[in-house]
Amino acid sequence: VADAVVGSLVDVVGPGHVLTDADVRVGYEQDWTGAFGGPARAVVRPGSTAEVAAVVDACRAASVPIIPQGGNTGLVGGGVPEGPGPPGRGEIVLSTRRLQTIDPVDAAAGQITVGAGVTLLALQERLAPLGFEVGVDLASRSGATLGGMAATNAGGTRVLRHGTMRGRVVGAEAVLGTGATVTHLRGLTKDTTGYDLAGLLVGSEGTLGVITALRLVIDPRPAQRAAALVATTGFDAALATAVGVHRRLPTLEAAEVVDGATVELVMATLDLPPPVAGHPTWYVLLGAAGPGDEAEDLARALDATAGPSAVGVIDAVVAGDGPRVDALWRYRDRATESLAAAGPPRKLDVSVPVSALAAFVAAVPDAVARCAPGAVLHVFGHVLDGNLHCNLLGVPSGGGHRVDDVVLDLAVGLGGSIGGEHGIGRAKRSFLHLVRSPAEIDAFRAVKSALDPAGILNPGVLLPA
Ligand SMILES: Cc1cc2nc3c(=O)[nH]c(=O)nc-3n(C[C@H](O)[C@H](O)[C@H](O)COP(=O)(O)OP(=O)(O)OC[C@H]3O[C@@H](n4cnc5c(N)ncnc54)[C@H](O)[C@@H]3O)c2cc1C
């Protein structure tokens, strides 16, 4: 069976795009965190929507599971094989990286149509000279694909102003698990003609269809970008600073928090100098973008919020030119990779209402210490989105550690969610019931079985078995 399926994939895409050699497959089989993955039967790299459809047909005919994969930067194990399955059922990784088309910008609509395998960085580089940008931005921009970002409903550092991928996607083309190709890429602002299939694919984590192209809303590129890094004595002061500046500065687009231990780890990993004097316990990084003097406006809003009389603010640095702005962002942008170098960390991405963040941050160290003594907790995230990434070093990776239950329960108990922006994947499927009712999970399953009746797309991802 294995050879017959692989043989039919070779017929579809040619031998150069079916990878069976273990050394070549390995980069597609192991996830970015090093915590998830297993051997695939083969990796197939279709170069067009028609080839994706033929791959899905061949796998359906042989009941072989498909793992859609973009840049493989996902953090919940959804884009790599589960591991060796029963004989004859080894998964095929379907890599979208050859779906590389970028259509001309539709400047009148402020939209663009792109292949699912285009990376965020490639699109940013294409749009910048034309005076546009994507709106969503992530530290994984050089690897993450637009298809993967839609499939995970990625968030990132500009959600505060520009929303998540859900708000960017106004049309999609996809090959569903049924084998049918659905194309709706007109991008009309007003279009009341039935179910929003593109919207359904956003956040579906490869379980309903393989996204092959997207119609995206893009934004005019702002003339100026500025950043401020504020050092504080505690989370409450960091949050108060972010809230105060947000209220005063309409051009604020990013408000990120990073705890002191994580900034120290980034400094040690990248050999960076301390951004400010002293030993702050929390930093808040603020980003503004607009037509005016953003550095001056940001400094003014910061002074009004966190001037000399503000409680808990130690120091602040403001930058208004590209290299200095980038230099400040390094203390936040390089956190994930610094933790990976020290890890692998156990990653728990949670969101809670902004009003409950302080309670979460106060309770989480004790909660971790109780069930994972010796673990080192690093927390950073998108503070005004209520989205924090808890990273634990010194706890074994892989399924079923009690610390997951405790931290996720804490977030849910405060009115939050077990997945802020990374998705459910394989990592959190057994926790879905904490945030979705039986009726909702039944509705999810009904949608799944309508669009993927044979259950060949990403089995074991998102929905518990
Ligand atoms: C350093 C670093 C920083 C990060 N920062 C952020 C952040 O700020 N915000 C954030 O949201 N995420 C962040 N991430 C996580 C990750 O980059 C995002 O989840 C991203 O959207 C994944 O895109 P990808 O192309 O790598 O997808 P993959 O990892 O390849 O796949 C992710 C999921 O999407 C599915 N999928 C991929 N492509 C398709 C497709 N074409 N059709 C259907 N399903 C598909 C896969 O099956 C899988 O379930 C970060 C990751 C790293 C390593």
Q: How far does the centroid of ligand 1 lie from the alpha carbon of residue 458, in Å?
A: 14
Pocket lining: 336 vs ligand 1, CB cutoff 6 Å: yes
Q: How far does the centroid of ligand 1 lie from the alpha carbon of residue 76, in Å?
A: 9
Angstrom distances, CA of residue 177 to CA of 32, 57, 174: 26, 9, 10
Q: What is the mean pLDDT of the chain?
A: 94
pLDDT at residue 308 greater than cutoff 80: no
Helix, strand, or coil here: 259?
Answer: strand
Compute the distance between CA of residue 465 and CA of residue 463 in angstroms, rounded to an integer.
Answer: 6
Of ligand 1's atoms, which has the minimum distance to the CA of residue 149?
21
Q: What is the pLDDT of residue 89?
A: 58
Question: Which residue puts its alpha carbon closest to atom 11 of ligand 1?
Answer: 154
Rounded average pLDDT over 431-457: 97
Pocket lining: 68 vs ligand 1, CB cutoff 6 Å: yes
- Our mutation pick for probing the ligand 1 site, out of 32, 66, 73, 214, counting the most ligand atoms within 8 A of Cβ, is 73
Q: What is the pLDDT of residue 1?
A: 41
Question: Which residue puts its alpha carbon closest to atom 20 of ligand 1?
Answer: 149
Least confident of 41-50, 131-140, 400-409: 400-409
Q: What is the pLDDT of residue 139?
A: 93
Pocket lining: 211 vs ligand 1, CB cutoff 6 Å: yes
Rounded average pLDDT over 117-123: 98
Amino acid at 306: A
- Provide, rounded to the nearest whole percent, the portion of the chain with pLDDT above 70: 97
Of ligand 1's atoms, which has the minimum distance to the CA of residue 139?
3
DSSP state of 273: P
Model confidence over 327-366: pLDDT tens digits?
999 999 999 999 999 988 999 999 999 999 999 999 999 9
- Our mutation pick for probing the ligand 1 site, out of 52, 67, 69, counting the most ligand atoms within 8 A of Cβ, is 69
Pocket lining: 144 vs ligand 1, CB cutoff 6 Å: yes
Rounded average pLDDT over 108-123: 98
- Our mutation pick for probing the ligand 1 site, out of 48, 75, 461, counting the most ligand atoms within 8 A of Cβ, is 75
Of ligand 1's atoms, which has the minimum distance to the CA of residue 205?
49
Rounded average pLDDT over 98-106: 98
pTM for the model stands at: 0.95
- Our mutation pick for probing the ligand 1 site, out of 51, 92, 93, 140, counting the most ligand atoms within 8 A of Cβ, is 140
pLDDT at residue 88 greater than cutoff 50: no
Q: How far does the centroid of ligand 1 lie from the alpha carbon of residue 34, in Å?
A: 15
Rounded average pLDDT over 202-218: 98
Q: What is the pLDDT of residue 150?
A: 98
Pocket lining: 460 vs ligand 1, CB cutoff 6 Å: no
Compute the distance between CA of residue 285 and CA of residue 318 in angstroms, rounded to an integer.
Answer: 10
Rounded average pLDDT over 140-169: 97
Q: What is the pLDDT of residue 119?
A: 98
Residue 233 and residue 334 in contact, taking contact as beta carbons nearer than 8 Å: no
Pocket lining: 96 vs ligand 1, CB cutoff 6 Å: yes
Res. 199 pLDDT band, cuts 50 70 90: very high
Question: How many CA atoms lie within 13 Å of 380's alpha carbon, on the beta-carbon side?
Answer: 25
Residue 271 and residue 245 in contact, taking contact as beta carbons nearer than 8 Å: no
Pocket lining: 73 vs ligand 1, CB cutoff 6 Å: yes
Compute the distance between CA of residue 74 and CA of residue 58 in angstroms, rounded to an integer.
Answer: 26
Question: Which residue puts its alpha carbon closest to atom 18 of ligand 1?
Answer: 74
- Provide, rounded to the nearest whole percent, the portion of the chain with pLDDT above 90: 90
Matching residue, tokens 């078995």? 465
DSSP per-residue letters across 133-160: E-S---TTTTT-BHHHHHHTT---TTHH
pLDDT at residue 441 greater than cutoff 80: yes
Q: How far does the centroid of ligand 1 lie from the alpha carbon of residue 390, in Å?
A: 18
Q: What is the pLDDT of residue 343?
A: 85
